[in-house]
Every structure is written in C-alpha cells, then in structure tokens.
Amino acid sequence: MSTKTIGILGAGKVGTGVARQALKAGYRVLIAASGDPKKIDLIISVMAPGATAVTAEEAMAQADLVVLSVPLHKFRTLDPAALAGKHVLDTMNFWHDTNGDMPELEDASSSSEMVLTHIPEAHMAKSLNHIGYHELELDARPAGAADRRALAVAADYDETRAMVLEFVERLGFDAVDAGLLTNGTAFEPGTPIFTGSYDTAGLESELDAHLAGRGELTAAA
C-alpha cells in the first residue's frame, strides 16, 4: 500500500463516512475541521473511532492523500501553499441551497477545476462525489464480488490517479479511470452516473456516452 495516511478536511457526514471506510482498509486517518481539533474530538470518537482529530495544517502536512469533504463554497478557505505538491481528492459537489451563488463556476469546466484555480499547485483527483456517504459502507464489497459497485476517478497527474484508484479499490469498490480531471463532469450532480449505481462495464459505458457527447478526450495526459 503506497498510501498510508489519509488527511480529511471536513468532519461532517461525508468526511466521517470516508474515514470509517479508510480505517477499515488499514489507513491511518486524520480529520480536521475549522478551528481547534478539541472541538471535534467527541464527534470523531463516535463517528469515526480510530481516527485522530487534528488541525487542518497537521492534516495537510502529514497526509499522503488529502481528501476535501467540506461544503464546496469553502474551497476559498483552503491554503494554496499547504496543498502545493500534495495529492488531493475532491469529493465535493455544488448544491445551490448549500453553497449559494458561485460565479466562479461559470468560468470553469467543472467544479473540481474551479477548486484547482484556487490551489493551482495541488495534484488533484475527483472521485467519491457520486456515492452517498451511507453507501460507502452499505455498498462496499470485497475484490472480485459479483455485485461490486464501480466508482470513477478523474485526474491529470498519473501518480495521483494511481493513488486514488488504489484508495477507491481498498475502500471496497471497482475503480474506473475516467481520464483527465475535466472529465469529472461525467459524474457531477444531474448526470446518470451521479444518480445511478453501476458495475465496471456499466460505468465505462456511461462515461463513454457522456464524454463523447461533450467531445472530451478520455485519455489521460
């Protein structure tokens, strides 16, 4: 296992759901929210026993893979310097009721690329945004299981892509390479992939259909 420590920014339902599965997979898990980690100690002990509450600075510094699981509009609070050169997994989605108006989205091909404009030196991947936090545990299956669910991974950097593909596999899902980060539009809210559940063949078919419709390249850089 090349990745040993997962740093999760966000102690809500998604962040703690990812944490529980990561702990089961044998990862060391650090979780940070805004402010003093002592404020989330009790939450973490109940929602993700075995994880450690830390500051955001500690999570980013110590993690092999940093997972973004905060409300999307809070991307503006991320520290570009602390994430420079880090492998980052974006699990976030845009919801108007939660995030409000986000004019930055109008200038970006995808929400992940919008986030990347704020942390331009991060090595970002997009995945785990198209599965419910409760489904991370309910739908996880051992490798080779006939009913194993597939999840897509998009990234521009080969090392980051490989790291996140491995992470998704270890969480209990078949990881499907979706190519470049911009291809993450194929599994944003409102798409068939976002609203459905697929095996590998079904997911690959939906990716091909969506990306062909957009005229996007599916090959990685």
Residue 80 belongs to domain with CATH number? 3.40.50.720
Grouping H, G, I as helix, E, B as strand and the rest as coil, residue 60 is helix
Q: Considering the domain boundaries, does residue 123 fall inside one? A: yes
Q: Which residues contact 108 (CB under 8 A, 6 or more apart)?
A: 114, 117
pLDDT in tens, the chain (221 residues): 577 999 999 999 999 999 999 999 999 999 999 889 999 999 999 999 999 999 999 999 999 999 999 999 999 999 999 999 999 999 999 877 777 887 877 777 889 999 999 999 999 999 999 999 999 999 999 999 999 999 999 999 999 999 999 999 999 999 999 999 999 999 999 999 999 999 999 999 999 998 888 764 444 44
Residue 37 lies in a domain: yes
CA 76 to each of CA 35, 47, 66, 79, 104: distance values in angstroms, whole numbers, following the listed order: 16, 26, 16, 8, 11
Residue 145 is assigned to a structural domain of this protein: yes
Q: How far is CA 64 from CA 13, 100, 215, 221, in A?
A: 22, 32, 34, 22
Taking the C-alpha atoms of residue 172 and residue 15, their distance in angstroms, rounded to an integer, is 17
In a domain, 201, yes or no: yes
What domain range is 73 assigned to? 5-214
Does residue 219 lie within any of the structural domains? no
pLDDT at 90: 98
In a domain, 221, yes or no: no
- Give a yes or no: residue 220 inside a domain: no
pTM of this prediction? 0.92
Alpha-carbon dihedral sign for residues 138, 142, 148, 154: positive
Q: Look at phi and psi of residue 5 and say left if phi exceeds 0, alpha if psi is from -120 to 50, else beta.
A: beta
How many distinct structural domains can be found in the chain? 1
Nearest-Å Rg of the Cα atoms of the chain is 16
206 found inside a domain: yes
